[in-house]
């Protein structure tokens, strides 16, 4: 019995937020792909992991260049980072954030940010991700998290902490007894591991919408290289890419993906560093011929 296409009325929301998160597009993505589920589900650009956590394959290879996202999810899957440890950390750090007062509340956020940039603690990463401006994941060229504070010192109220810990618990439940690997590596290394029964979901940085995701620039040349590399894969794939908005259209799709099956859906982004990045968008799902759902 095929794993995909799949109906997903209410997508699971992961604990990590980042620009371009596909939560509202998950039902569209899962109903558009045909895959047996016999191989591995492979993601070279894991990001928040929202698509992976909703597909829930038996085997998966989840990769990203951002070591902090990879380590966070690996520690949850291994049981090193637990619901109780997350709750304790967010309650403690959230209370410190609240108590520092209106003049100093920003200073404590930046204290935690400096601490994280020194230690890379996954708990601090989660704290910053859920208290930074507009839910962004952004690092400078030194690999330092540099998103400013959201200016909400009472961010970690009990209901909000419970929501995050429930999301963490769901990741642990989803990964339990499944053969999943989380690795920090370049997309080329990931795609070299593909086998005929696998399926690859690609969610690369969007051309013209780069936001400094992690110490890397996503150029048109690299996007073109990905298109050429993907065309040679021994297995099926689907790639998410913006097609057009009210300002312009993405020429990259017509120039480099005209051989793929295209499905589209309108979407609105709520996360992003500027208003232009938080607008209605027509999203394209580019699928290898023969892997599209009827």
Pairing assessment for the beta strands 236-244 and 280-287 based on DSSP bridges: antiparallel
Over residues 200-246, the pLDDT tens digits come to 999 998 876 555 567 667 889 999 999 999 999 999 999 999 999 88
Whole-number pLDDT of residue 105: 66
Q: What is the pTM of this model?
A: 0.92
Over residues 211-223, the pLDDT tens digits come to 556 766 788 999 9
- CATH 3.90.180.10 fits domain 79-168: no
Any idea where the domains of the chain sit in the sequence? 23-65+185-287, 79-168
**DSSP reduced 3-state for 216:** coil
Q: Which helix (H) or strand (E) holds 242?
A: strand 236-244
How far apart are the two ends of the chain, measured CA to CA in Å? 16
Whole-number pLDDT of residue 151: 87
Whole-number pLDDT of residue 21: 85
Q: How many CB atoms lie within 10 A of CB 40?
A: 23
Q: How far is Cα 216 from Cα 134, in angstroms, rounded to an integer?
A: 21
**DSSP reduced 3-state for 48:** coil
Q: Annotate 163-187 with DSSP letters as a single string.
A: HHHHHHHHHHHHHTTSEEEEEE--H
Cis peptide before 5 (omega within 30 of 0): yes
Whole-number pLDDT of residue 211: 54
Q: How far is Cα 145 from Cα 156, in angstroms, rounded to an integer?
A: 20
Q: How far is Cα 268 from Cα 24, in angstroms, rounded to an integer?
A: 9
Whole-number pLDDT of residue 273: 47
Task: Point out the residues of the chain with pLDDT beneath 50.
Answer: 272-273
**23-65+185-287 shares its CATH topology with 79-168:** no
Which CATH architecture describes the domain 23-65+185-287?
A: 3-Layer(aba) Sandwich (3.40)
Whole-number pLDDT of residue 279: 65
């Amino acid at each position: 019995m095929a794993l995909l296409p799949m109906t997903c009325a209410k997508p699971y929301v992961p604990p990590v937020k980042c620009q371009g998160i596909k939560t509202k597009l998950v039902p569209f993505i899962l109903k558009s792909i045909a895959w047996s589920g016999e191989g591995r589900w492979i993601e070279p650009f894991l990001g928040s992991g929202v698509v992976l956590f909703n597909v829930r394959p038996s085997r998966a290879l989840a990769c990203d260049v951002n070591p902090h996202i990879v380590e966070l999810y690996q520690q949850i899957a291994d049981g090193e980072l637990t619901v109780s440890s997350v709750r304790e950390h967010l309650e403690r750090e959230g209370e410190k954030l609240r108590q520092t007062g209106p003049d100093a509340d920003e200073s404590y956020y930046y204290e935690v940010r400096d601490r994280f940039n020194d230690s890379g603690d996954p708990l601090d990463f989660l704290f910053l991700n859920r208290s930074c401006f507009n839910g962004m994941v952004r690092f400078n060229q030194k690999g330092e998290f540099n998103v400013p504070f959201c200016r909400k010192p009472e961010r970690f109220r009990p209901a909000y902490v419970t929501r995050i810990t429930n999301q963490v618990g769901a990741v642990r439940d989803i990964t339990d007894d499944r053969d999943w690997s989380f690795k920090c590596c370049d997309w080329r290394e990931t795609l070299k591991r593909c086998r005929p029964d696998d399926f690859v979901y690609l969610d690369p940085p969007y051309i013209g919408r780069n936001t400094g995701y992690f110490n890397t620039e996503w150029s048109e040349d690299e996007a073109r290289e990905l298109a050429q590399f993907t065309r040679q894969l021994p297995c099926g794939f689907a790639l998410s890419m913006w097609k057009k908005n009210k300002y312009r259209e993405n020429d990259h799709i017509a120039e480099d993906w005209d051989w793929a099956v295209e499905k589209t859906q309108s979407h609105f982004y709520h996360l992003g560093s500027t208003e232009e990045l938080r607008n209605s968008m027509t999203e394209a799902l580019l699928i290898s011929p023969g892997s599209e759902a009827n």
